Every structure is written in C-alpha cells, then in structure tokens.
Amino acid sequence: MTYQHFLFDLDDTLLDFRAAERRSFDQMIESFGAHVTGPAMFFDYQRENTRLWNDFERALITKEALKIERFRRTFAPHGLDIDPAEASVRYLECLAETVVLVDGAATLCGALSAVGEIGIITNGIEHVQTRRIEKSGLNRWIRFVATSEACGFAKPDGRFFQYAVEKFSRVSKPQTIIVGDRLDADVLGANRFGIDSCWFNPHRLASDGAAIATFEAATLAEIHRMLVPA
C-alpha cells in the first residue's frame, strides 16, 4: 500500500515528551524558589497527570480543570504551598519552550512530505503544541495541526479523526495511516475510524489485544523504511 496522507501523534512519537516534561516540571518548581530532592514528586505528578488525561479522553473532566488539578493532587501530599493554578501557567510556559526531537523525526517528516501530506493530531493543549512544533522546525513539512481542544472531541473518538482528515487537500481512507505511540488512543482510534496504523513502540511493550496495529516499529528509521517508497 502506498500512503499519501500521514497522521502523526506528536508527544513521544515525533517529540520526546518525557524528556521535555521532566525539564519543564523542574524549571517550574525552581521558579517558585522551591527545591525538591529525589524523583518522588515528579513520579507523583506523572501518575496523577496520566490518570487525569485518561479521564479527559473519557470526557470525565475538562482540559481546563485537568491543567490545575494535576498540580493540586501532586503538591498536597508533599505539603508544598504553591498555587496549583499559577504552577499550571508556569509549567505550560516552560513546556512550550522545551523541545526534544525523537531521533529521526526531521528526516522522516522531510521524506514523507515529498510523497504526501503530514498532519499532526494531538490531545495536547493547543497553544503549547503549536509553539513546540514551531520550535522543533518540523512545521515546514506539516500541513496542519489538529487538536482535541479545537475539535471538541479527543482521540480515540472517531469524530476527532474525521475532523482531522478533512484538513488534508483530499480525503482517502485507504491512503491514510496514523503513526502513534499509544494503543488506546492512536491505534484504537484508527481501528474505529477504518484507517491503517503504525504503532511506534520504542520500549517494545506487549499489546493487550484491544487495538490492532497494521504495523509496529521500534524506531522512526524503521517507519521511514516502511512508508517511504524505495
């Protein structure tokens, strides 16, 4: 199959979100003059953040509430007297300016843009994701960025995928593929919407069988070989 429409997840697919997240969290804490030793607080933040994003994807919480609640839940057990709303503002400011590319991202996007169109689909916060893409330099190859914030629905909801593909110059499901690191959002969404998918799985995790990827790859170089015509 020759694909011409490439949908990419952003975080932990093209951009190393884990690295950017840790740097931004540390910078935010330091901006309040607080000093935290050890990984415990960041671990707690990641746990609460993951729980809340899962709730958001099930429409159980709004994104605005999520942005603040994750810090409230993180700070309280540690007795940290920091306003979670202000922490959210400062964290997002840091995150928007912190960009770490996944190895091979620029090469892959450049090659795919020569054979088709690339769109980014993300459940992330719109102004943050837009700024990070600009700073990454990947925007020169990207036709559009579709966010759940603008759409009103989040991955894996099929309405979000429909919203995204309509931003291509033309729509052809058989020629469309999504590349993403999450089975429960990217691959499951592709299954429900009726398009192919590539599970980017650098940590070689086991599939739970709930979502079935068309392809699986551990590096972007592998995806390059699969998707770019020889």
- Residue 16 annotated to the active site: no
Residue ending a domain, among 27, 61, 96, is 96
Q: Scan for tokens 């592998």, then name that residue.
A: 222
Total domains, the chain: 2
Domain encompassing residue 178: 5-16+101-227
Same-domain status, 128 and 77: no
Q: What's the predicted TM-score (pTM) here?
A: 0.87
Is residue 26 within 8 A of residue 37, CB to CB? The reply is no
Is the Cβ–Cβ distance between 72 and 49 less than 8 Å? Answer: no
Task: From 96, 113, 138, give the residue that closes a domain.
Answer: 96
Looking at the fold, whether 116 and 205 belong to one and the same domain comes out as yes
Are residues 186 and 115 both part of a single domain?
Answer: yes
Do 124 and 218 have their domain in common?
Answer: yes
Residue 26 annotated as catalytic: no
- Tokens representing 196? 């192919």
Q: Which of 11, 157, 181, 186 is catalytic?
A: 11
Sheet holding 144-147, edge to edge: 144-147, 117-122, 5-8, 176-180, 196-200, 215-217
The one catalytic residue among 9, 12, 157, 181:
9
Q: Please tell me whether the peptide bond between 156 and the residue prior to it is cis, using omega within 30 degrees of 0.
A: yes
Q: Using 50, 70 and 90 to split pLDDT, how confident is the model at 100?
A: very high
**Residues 144 and 123 reside in one and the same domain:** yes
pLDDT tens digits, residue range 35-90? 776 789 999 999 999 999 999 989 999 999 999 999 999 999 999 999 999 999 99
pLDDT at 34: 83
Hey, which residues does 118 pair with through a beta bridge? 6
Of 96, 119, 144, which closes a domain? 96
In this predicted structure, what is the pLDDT of residue 1? 64
Residues 167 and 54 in one domain: no
- CATH code for the domain in which residue 156 is found: 3.40.50.1000
Distances (CA, A) of 99 to 24, 59, 94, 219: 10, 28, 10, 19
Position 229 scores a pLDDT of: 85
In a shared domain, residues 70 and 121: no
Shared-domain flag, residues 36 and 135: no
For residue 181, what are its two tokens? 């690191």
Q: What is the pLDDT of residue 37?
A: 61
Where does the pLDDT of residue 104 fall: very low under 50, low under 70, confident under 90, or very high at 90 and above? very high
179 lies in the same domain as 68: no
Tokens of 198: 């590539």
Residue 103 neighbours by CB distance under 10 Å: 12
